[in-house]
Chains A and B, each alone.
Chain A
Amino acid sequence: MRILLVEDDKMIGESVLDLLRAEHYAVDWVRDGAMADTALCTQDYDLVLLDLGLPRRDGMDVLRTMRARRQRTPVLIATARDGVAARIEGLDAGADDYVLKPYDLDELLARIRALLRRAAGRAEPVYEHMGVSIDPATREASVNGQPVQLSAREWAVLEPLLARPGMVLSRAQLEEKLYGWKDEISSNAVEVYIHGLRRKLGSGLIRNIRGVGYMVPKDPS
Chain B
Amino acid sequence: MSRPVDGSVDGVRRYSLRARLLWFLLAAIAAAAAVQAFIAYRAARAEADAIFDYHMQQMALSLRARFPLSIVPGVADELGDAEGFDFLVQIWTLDGTRIFRTAGPQLPQRAVLGFSQERVDGHSYRTYAMQGGVVVIQIAQDMAVRRRMAGAMALRTLAPVALMAPVLMLLVWAVVGVSLAPVARAQRQLAQRQPEDLGEISEAGLPDEVRPLVHELNLLFGRVRAAFEAQQSFVADAAHELRSPLAALRLQVQGLQRAGDEATRGRMLERLVGGIDRASRLVDQLLVLARQQAGASARVVGQGPDRARGPGPWQPLALAVLVRQVVGEAAAAAQARGIDLGVVHADELEVQGDAQALAILVRNLVDNAIKYTPQGGRVDVELRRLASSPAAAAGGAARLLVQDSGPGIPATELERVRDRFYRIPGSEVEGSGLGLAIVDAIAQAHGARLVLRASSTLGGLCAQVDFPLHAGEAAGGDRSP
Contacts and interface: CB of A to CB of B under 8 A. Distances in A.
B251 interface: yes
B246 interface: yes
Contacts of A105: 250-251, 254
Interface stretch (B16-24, B270-278, B445-453): B270-278
Nearest to B258: A22
Interface string B399-435: 0000000000000000000000001111100100000
B275 A18 contact: no
B148 to A, nearest CB: 93
Contacts of A14: 271
A18 B255 contact: yes
Nearest to A18: B255
A80 B240 contact: yes
B247 A80 contact: yes
Contact of A32 (B244, B252, B426, B430): B426
B199 to A, nearest CB: 25
Interface string B267-308: 000010011001000000000000000000000000000000
A102 to B, nearest CB: 4
A9 B252 contact: no
A19 B258 contact: yes
A3 to B, nearest CB: 15
A11 B251 CA distance: 9
A15 interface: yes
B249 interface: yes
A101 B248 CA distance: 9
A56 B252 CA distance: 27
A204 interface: no
Interface string B226-249: 000000000000001001111111
A102 B250 contact: yes
A156 to B, nearest CB: 19
B252 A15 contact: yes
A15 B246 CA distance: 12
Interface string A15-56: 110110010000000001000000000000000000000011
B252 A11 contact: yes
B251 A15 contact: yes
Contact of A9 (B248, B254, B255): B248
A36 to B, nearest CB: 13
A101 B247 contact: yes
A81 B246 CA distance: 14
B426 A56 contact: yes
B38 to A, nearest CB: 80
Interface of A: 9-12, 14-16, 18-19, 22, 32, 55-56, 80-81, 101-106
**10 shortest A-B CB distances, which residue pairs?**
A55-B425, A102-B247, A15-B251, A11-B248, A101-B247, A80-B243, A105-B254, A102-B246, A102-B250, A12-B248
7 contacts: A9-B244, A11-B251, A12-B244, A18-B255, A56-B425, A104-B254, A106-B254
Given A11-B248, A12-B244, A12-B251, 17 more contacts: A10-B430, A11-B271, A11-B275, A14-B271, A15-B251, A15-B255, A19-B258, A55-B426, A56-B426, A80-B240, A80-B243, A101-B243, A101-B246, A102-B247, A102-B248, A102-B251, A104-B254
